[in-house]
Structure formats: structure tokens, C-alpha cells
Chain A
Amino acid sequence: MNLKEHLQQHRKEIDTQEMSFSSEAVFKDKLQQELHRPKKGKIMYLQFISAAASIVLVSVVFFWMQKPGASNATNEVLAFLADDSAGTRLEGVYKFEDEFEKEDSKIINTLIKILHDDANANVKIATIDALLKYPTNENIRISLITALEKEKTPLVQIKIIKSLSFLKENRAQKPLENIINNNRTFPIVKSNATLAIAQLKQ
């Protein structure tokens, strides 16, 4: 007998307040059972909420990782750029140039380091092309001018000269003049520097 049936059966005694002591004891027992019944529905509801939240969280992380320029892709390019093999470093530079749209400060800082220090001329030249995707970045412009002052490999010198001319970077005039006045500069580099100064003065 459940609580409802117990109430119906003893309605008269309850209404007249003549409920027996034993009936009252049974009522208390039934009431206790009813009030402390395990709340299965509520637990299932909470579980559903948790599962949904987890799904949403996993989805957000997944889509965030898929986004170009986000940490996973960035880390992949950075790993390529740190490799001992020039071929792998080149793959990293080309990957960045082909697949990244937005500026990525970590990669750009690594590329600037490569521009100054890499031992392979192809890697440096490819790096300059990749950096030229962001012509308004002041850090890149300054780095190209500094690189021009230090660079000794003729083909890389020519690439930097053409880049600074393309950027219309007037601050490059002094290092360009130094290159022209250096009697150890390759003639073809001097020609490019002379042309660049003429273009900057236009």
C-alpha cells in the first residue's frame, strides 16, 4: 500500500482527526519513503547536461585547432623552420607563405632570425618573399634594412635590395650607398643598389 492508498483508506479518521496511533506511524513511514525516494530523473538530467557540455567543449577545441594560423599549424611550421635540413626549413617557409593569411608573430620572429643567421641562401631568399606578405609590419621593414647592412652573399643582397625598393623604404638609402661605395661588392650587386636608389628618389 502506497501513501495515496493509505490516505484514501484513512480519509475519515484524518478528516475527523481521529487517526489511530498505529495509522499515524504507518503514515509517517510512508511519508518518509516518498520524500527520500532516489531522484533518478534529476541525475539523468544532470548527466545529459554534462555530456552536452563536453561535446560542445570538444567541438570548440577541434575547430579552434583547425583554424589556420592557430597553435597546431604554427607549431608545425616552427618545427620545420628549426630543422637541420635546409630542404625542411624551405618547406616550412613555403608552407607559411602559401597557407597563412594572418600575421603570426611567433613565425615572423623566427623568420627574421633566419633572415639574419641562416647558412643557406635559398632559405634566406624564400624567407624574404614570405616576410613581404606583410609590407606594413615595421619590425619586418627594419629587419630588412639591418639584413642589408650585414649580408655578404651576392644573391641574397640582390633580393634584399629589390625588396626594399619594392617597399619604397627610404631609410635604406644609406646602407645602399655603403654597398655601392664598397669596392669589394660584386658589380651586379652594385648595379642593383644603384637602380634601387634611383627608384627610391623618384
Chain B
Amino acid sequence: MKYISTVIVLAFLTGFTVNAQEKKIKFSKGTLKICSSKNFVIEGYDGKEVIIKSIHDNSKVLFSNNRNGFTYTTKGVKASKILKGAKGAKGSKDAKKYEGWTVTGAPNRNYTIVRGQPNNLFFSRTDSGKNEGLKRLGKKQENRELGIYFTIEHKNGELIFKDKTDGQVVMFGNEKYSIKIPNSIKLNWDTSGCHKSKNNVPFVMYTSHASSLSNFNGEVEISTSLNNLKLVDVTGPVSINSIGGNVTIDFNKKKPLKLYSIYTNNGFIDITMPSNSDVNVDANGAAIYSNLNFNVVSDTESDGQQHMKLKMKSGRVKMKLEAGFGTIYLRKKK
């Protein structure tokens, strides 16, 4: 028990130290393409670097599984405990072989058993405390040391962040990243991993936590399946599409300045904006609620859908909101 507590404390301290570090990439022109279902908190700023910081506990990262296998995690876990939890592996030759061993491998490695057979399952007796105060060498190891578990690629004017899950499916994860991006770039964010043929994988990738983007003035394109999104003070142009994710847009200190285009199949669209916003809203949804003083240009209903064209001031900025079976909320900023 004492040993486990020591391991947990050490892992926590290691994670904390690593998390305090940031990765900075010079990038002030072009497109940042995020092909990841992980949880991101993105903020715009007037700078020339993309700054990534992992804000998860690096020692407790859950990793992806093969859909026929199981997910194992964290350092310091008894191999017998893992194998006990693995369907088909319990009582197997391998379970006996590794009994009493402790997982000490790199935390981003997948420990997977497919159909009860050990596959890519590694244990070792290495003392994890031996590397204390040292840094793992090698360029490819740099991101792991910083707690960053996605690939970073720079090509053709694009900076690309991509999940390392080719051929595997992420069902959930506790990874969370804070990213600062220059206002001068364009953001293209696809939580389905930027697959060209999106229905090649019949599983939906999502995280239960809402990802967010705030204080950004550049162009934004977001595509999600079920991920919830929150945008705060993002002036546009913005295009968002989602099957079932909810989209929340808040204008606290800014107003919409350029086009907003949001399409969901059944997620809600909830927008809070100042009462003096200069907008022209074209909204379709199961229901539309508002406490803003709109000039109603048109109001029709068909097939259980409300279709409304609403205007405030001269209607300079177009907002196309289509929520499908979802509801649209248009709120006045208090």
C-alpha cells in the first residue's frame, strides 16, 4: 500500500512538472488543421507562435483501444490486475507469466490484447524512479515528455495535429490540451480525424467534455460528430457542422463581425450576443427561442420545423443557423 502511494505521488509530481512546460511552434500564416477527437481549449492571441500545453495529468492518461481488445493505462499498475480485467486473458498462460510484474512502459504505449491473445503487451521491472531529473533524448520523444500524444506535422503551409490512432478507434480519453493560436491564422478543426471517407469507420469519435475556442479573430471551420463545442468571442467567419453535438456561442466582449454558418442534425444551437449586434439571422429548427428584440422578416412552419428570418439593426452580418431536430436559443447578453 505504501509502495502504491509512493508511486502515485511520484507520478503526480512528474506529471505536474512536465505539464508546466509548453511547446512553441513558429506559425503565423496559413492553416492550423486539427484532426483529433481529443479535448482542446483553444485561445486566440496577437502573437506569432502556436503554443501547446498539456493540461491533463500525464500519469493518468487513458489510451485508445483496438475495438476487439481492451485499454490499459498508467504506470505502476500490477500486470496481474490488468490481465485479470482482460476478458479471455484471465487465467491464461500470460496471466501467470506476468503475475507480480508492474507496468512501467511509456505511458503513451497501447497495451492491447486482441481476442484474449497478448498483442503488443509489454511489462518490465525497470525502476521508474531512475530517470528522475533527466530528460528523455531524441526529437520524437520530445512531445511525449511534454505530455503531448498527437502527431505534429508542418507541410504546404499547414500545421497539422493528428491523433495517433490509425486503424484504431478512440472511444474516450482524458487528454486535455490548452493551445494558444495567432489571430492571423485560419483554424480547421475536425474531431473525426480528417478522414477523407468519413463513413469508413462506423464508430463515432468523441469526448464527453466540450472543447472550446475563445477570443479568436481568424477564420474557423469546425466539423464534429457528437462533440459539444463552445465558442467565446470568436468574431467570424465561422462554419460549424455537427451531427449531434451541441454548439454554444457567447459574445461577451465582442460582437459578430463576419458570417456564422452552423448546421446540426439534432444538437442545440445556443447563441448569446449583445442587443446592438448588427445581424441578419436565418434560423431553422424544431423550436426557436429568444429574448432579443428582433425585427421578424419572415415566420413559417413546415414538417414540424420553424423557419424564421430575423434582423437586428441593418442586418450586416449573416447568421445561418440550422438545427434540424434541435432547438435554437438566441439570448441577449446581460
Contacts and interface: CB of A to CB of B under 8 A. Distances in A.
B237 A87 contact: yes
A48 to B, nearest CB: 44
A164 to B, nearest CB: 15
A36 B197 CA distance: 87
A88 B236 CA distance: 11
Interface in B197-222: 197-202, 204, 219, 221
A91 B261 CA distance: 10
B258 A121 contact: no
Interface string A166-195: 000000000000000011111011000000
Contacts of A186: 199, 202, 204, 243
Nearest to B240: A122
A154 B243 contact: yes
Given A85-B237, A87-B237, A90-B237, A121 B197 contact: no
Contact of A155 (B186, B219, B241): B241
Interface in A80-123: 85-88, 90-91, 94, 120-123
A11 interface: no
B320 A155 contact: no
A189 B238 CA distance: 25
Contact of B239 (A86, A153, A158): A86
Contacts of A86: 219, 221, 237, 239
B320 A126 contact: yes
Contact of A94 (B198, B200, B225, B320): B320
A120 B204 CA distance: 19
Given A90-B261, A121-B263, A184 B241 contact: no
Contacts of B258: 87
B130 interface: no
Contact of B265 (A88, A94, A122, A155): A155
Given A94-B318, A126-B261, A155-B265, A87 B199 contact: no
Interface of A: 85-88, 90-91, 94, 120-123, 125-126, 152-155, 157-158, 182-186, 188-189
The 6 A-B pairs at the shortest CB distance, nearest first, are namely: A87-B237, A122-B239, A121-B241, A152-B197, A122-B261, A90-B261
